[in-house]
A = this chain, B = another copy of it.
């Protein structure tokens, strides 16, 4: 009984966002994530790594300990521990602490490459910050609404780069650096997205002609996803506008920066609050 009350209290602090303690916990966690990321990034710089190696290793142990405690507390106080452990954030939380323990278990130098890979995965913890971003639900809804159109677009791009890659492979051939079709598809992607590294360029006149075609195509089909998202976003913003209702006359259609109802003049919720409310409704 006593145990259950403690569990629930912890649950409200760790998983909730509405109490003062809950908000303090959230902010402390964000700061811990950002500092541990900074340590990871600095550790990758050779000059710093050799000089401060001991400090960095110590800090890594420290943050691993903190995140381990956080992970265990979440497992303990969650009403459905299994659901948390298998959820997206649960897996990210586990992956961010595992590598340090693995490095302790297998300290041999041969595993260093794998360990380095795993340790960097802690960076995915940064994704936990996404849910604190306000106003993201309009953007997200627009992307979700247009997901099928975007899928069609990417399938078309995939087909195009395969065809252009195969053609440039035949035209330029291995003697000009296009050693295989996958390599040539990589070139086609670099060209169609207008990135243009320049590590692989056509050198025959025919190849340059095909490259020009690829560029112009990429240049113009760039317009398609923009068109899709703009059209969808236009719709979303109109709908969103109608979601905000005046508390007095309950009429809607207010502009997104309106502070007073345009029908009766009574004060509206501030834009910040409005957005947060919609946000939390959507995330539940």
Interface residue from B154, B155, B159, B230 paired with A227 (Cβ < 8 Å) = B230
Q: Which residues does A use to contact B, with CB under 8 Å?
A: 37, 40-41, 44-46, 116-117, 120, 123-124, 126-127, 129-130, 133-136, 138-139, 142-143, 145, 148-157, 159, 162-163, 166-167, 169-170, 174, 179-186, 189-191, 193-199, 201, 205, 208, 211-212, 215-216, 218-220, 222-235, 237, 239, 255-257, 271, 275
Closest B residue, CB atoms, query A126: B159
Decide if A230 touches B237 in the complex (CB within 8 Å): no
The 6 A-B residue pairs with the shortest CB-CB distance in the complex, in nearest-first order: A195-B196, A44-B181, A198-B198, A197-B198, A227-B229, A227-B230
Copy number of this protein in the oligomer? 4
User: With A45-B180, A205-B182, A234-B234 known to touch, is A138 a contact of B149 (CB < 8 Å)?
Assistant: yes
Give A86 Cβ to nearest chain B Cβ, in Å. 22
Q: Are A170 and B116 in contact (CB under 8 A)?
A: yes
Chain B residues near A157 (CB-CB < 8 A): 216
A232 to B257, CA, bound (A): 12
Known contacts A130-B156, A156-B130, A229-B224: A41-B215 contact under CB 8 Å: no
Alpha-carbon distance A69/B277, docked complex (angstroms): 54
Complexed CA–CA distance, A162 and B255 (Å): 35
Give 28 CB contacts A-B under 8 Å: A40-B166, A41-B180, A44-B184, A45-B182, A46-B174, A123-B166, A127-B163, A129-B155, A133-B156, A135-B151, A135-B152, A136-B156, A139-B153, A143-B224, A154-B220, A190-B212, A193-B194, A193-B215, A196-B197, A197-B197, A219-B225, A222-B222, A226-B226, A228-B233, A230-B233, A230-B234, A231-B233, A231-B234
